[in-house]
């Protein structure tokens, strides 16, 4: 029998609770220790999940525990020091998105893990949502031919600030926090990007950053995509946190619409299906879509460690998503298109 992987979670905040639930659902790995610099969060999560080994200092965690991996669920400013600490201790690491506050930091983190010979995965989970995987499967089937256009859309007026108050305070908001997922989905479905053009706006006067972004991208495949996101869009039915997708191909189309309705028009006609994510026992609507993807990405990590394969959203892969974020902010400021290769 293969020994279960021993993991530790650093950062016991709002989102980490989902990660802890997901670890309990996954065979082959368990969380044996947790760390948070806030003793209150340590108590809340430690008591909820029955974890006795608790640390308020990540260096003490690394010094005292024998771990097969560490799951870093803190916010971006701490990601580089914590990933570098993992690399120094030769511990494979998962790091939440946004991978780092800057592309330069992210490159240094990838180098530190490569030099140490340890695996590094960014917890970029949106592409692991089952409706998005369903779109990918249609593309792989060849039914719609070669894609030439895509639209990845996330428009909502959901109050994200009550659960994540820091989102209202940052100079950067929607592209760095949410658009990053949409940009990653665009890469996942249509491949890497050569050029991005961006417009942003702030509609909500009570926040510091932009809450609307519209991005036009040239993909290296020749396809064009529009990635649009908004937290200022008041709709009759609030769709949070659904990502809607349109793809046009040489032989047909894909539409992932509200309520997870997937319509595929291909060589053999039109098929409509319901690709709703399952509601896991510990999940709660409307977050269940995201919560299910957390299980999927963490299971993928365990498979990768077991088989010695590179995670789909490895640190190196995620540099290309983070570069899109950097390029989008640069292009929004200059109002000029930005070339991606120059950043990588």
Three-state SS at 214: strand
Minimum distance of ligand NAD from residue 120's CB (angstroms): 15
Q: Is 11 in the site for ligand NAD (CB under 6 A)?
A: yes
Closest CA to 322 of 200, 168, 175, 191: 175
Q: Is 178 in the site for ligand 89V (CB under 6 A)?
A: yes
Nearer to ligand 89V, 282 or 287 (CB): 287
Task: Please say whether the beta carbons of 31 and 71 come within 8 A.
Answer: yes
Task: Please say whether the beta carbons of 208 and 171 come within 8 A.
Answer: yes
Minimum distance of ligand NAD from residue 266's CB (angstroms): 31
- Quote the CA–CA distance of 10 and 53 in Å, as a whole number: 12
Nearer to ligand 89V, 143 or 177 (CB): 177
Minimum distance of ligand 89V from residue 114's CB (angstroms): 26
* Residue 339 interacting entry, from ligand 89V, ligand NAD, none, C-beta within 5 to 8 Å by type: none
Three-state SS at 261: strand
**Cα–chain center distance at 231:** 18
* Residue 35 interacting entry, from ligand 89V, ligand NAD, none, C-beta within 5 to 8 Å by type: ligand NAD
Q: Is 70 in the site for ligand NAD (CB under 6 A)?
A: no
Task: Please say whether the beta carbons of 214 and 226 come within 8 A.
Answer: yes
Put residue 145 in one of left, alpha, beta given phi > 0 → left and psi -120 to 50 → alpha.
Answer: left
* Residue 178 interacting entry, from ligand 89V, ligand NAD, none, C-beta within 5 to 8 Å by type: ligand 89V
Bridge partners for 147 per DSSP: 249
Minimum distance of ligand NAD from residue 175's CB (angstroms): 12
The one among 8, 15, 135, 244 contacting ligand NAD by CB under 6 A: 15
Q: Is 210 in the site for ligand 89V (CB under 6 A)?
A: no
* Residue 241 interacting entry, from ligand NAD, ligand 89V, none, C-beta within 5 to 8 Å by type: ligand 89V
- Scored b (16 or more CB within 10 A) or e, 222-247 reads ebbbebbbbbbbeeeeebbbbbbbbb
Bridge partners for 12 per DSSP: none
Q: Is 160 in the site for ligand 89V (CB under 6 A)?
A: yes
Q: Is 130 in the site for ligand 89V (CB under 6 A)?
A: no
Residues 282-311 that bind ligand NAD (CB under 6 A): 290
Task: Please say whether the beta carbons of 99 and 79 come within 8 A.
Answer: yes
Query: What distances in angstroms separate CA 337 from CA 185, 194, 210, 332, one per listed residue?
Result: 20, 10, 19, 9
Nearer to ligand 89V, 87 or 290 (CB): 290
- Quote the CA–CA distance of 179 and 3 in Å, as a whole number: 38
Return the percent helix, strand and coil in the chain, to nearest 5.
40, 25, 35
Q: Is 133 in the site for ligand 89V (CB under 6 A)?
A: no
Selected range binding ligand 89V among 107-115, 177-185, 260-268, 310-318, rule: CB under 6 A: 177-185
Nearer to ligand 89V, 241 or 331 (CB): 241
Q: Is 131 in the site for ligand NAD (CB under 6 A)?
A: no
Q: Is 78 in the site for ligand 89V (CB under 6 A)?
A: no
- Quote the CA–CA distance of 252 and 264 in Å, as a whole number: 7
Residue whose tokens read 């709660």: 284
Q: Is 51 in the site for ligand NAD (CB under 6 A)?
A: no
Residues that bind ligand 89V (CB under 6 A): 160, 164, 177-178, 181, 241
Residues that bind ligand NAD (CB under 6 A): 10-16, 35-38, 41, 58, 73-76, 78, 96-97, 123, 125, 164, 166, 177, 290
């Amino acid at each position: 029998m293969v020994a279960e992987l021993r993991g530790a979670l650093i950062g016991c905040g709002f989102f980490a609770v989902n990660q802890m639930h997901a670890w309990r659902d996954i065979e082959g790995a368990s969380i044996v220790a947790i760390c948070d610099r806030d003793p209150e969060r340590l108590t809340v999560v430690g008591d909820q999940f029955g974890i006795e080994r608790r640390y308020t200092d990540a260096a003490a965690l690394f010094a005292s525990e024998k771990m097969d991996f560490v799951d870093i669920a803190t916010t971006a400013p701490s990601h580089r020091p914590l990933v570098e600490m993992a690399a120094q201790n030769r511990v494979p690491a998962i790091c939440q998105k946004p991978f780092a506050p800057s592309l330069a930091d992210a490159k240094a983190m990838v180098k530190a893990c490569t030099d140490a010979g340890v695996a590094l995965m960014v917890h970029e989970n949106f592409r692991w949502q089952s409706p998005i995987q369903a779109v990918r499967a249609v593309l792989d089937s060849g039914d719609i031919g070669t894609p030439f256009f895509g639209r990845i859309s996330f428009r909502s007026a959901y109050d994200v600030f009550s659960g994540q108050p820091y989102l209202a305070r940052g100079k950067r908001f929607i592209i760095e926090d949410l658009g990053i997922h949409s940009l990653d989905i665009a890469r996942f479905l249509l491949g890497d990007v050569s050029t991005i053009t961006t417009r942003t706006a702030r509609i909500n006067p009570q926040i510091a950053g932009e809450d609307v972004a519209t991005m036009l991208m040239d993909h290296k495949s020749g396809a064009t995509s529009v990635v649009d996101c908004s937290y200022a869009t008041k709709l009759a039915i609030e769709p949070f946190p659904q990502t809607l997708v349109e793809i046009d191909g040489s032989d047909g189309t894909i539409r992932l619409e509200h309520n997870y309705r997937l319509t595929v028009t291909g060589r053999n006609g039109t098929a409509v299906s319901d690709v709703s994510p399952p509601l896991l026992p510990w999940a709660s609507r409307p977050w269940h879509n995201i919560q299910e993807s957390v299980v999927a990405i963490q299971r993928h990590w365990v498979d990768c460690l077991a088989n010695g394969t590179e995670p789909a959203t490895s640190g190196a892969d995620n540099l290309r998503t983070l570069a899109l974020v950097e390029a989008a902010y640069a292009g929004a400021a200059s109002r000029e298109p930005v070339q991606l290769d120059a950043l990588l």
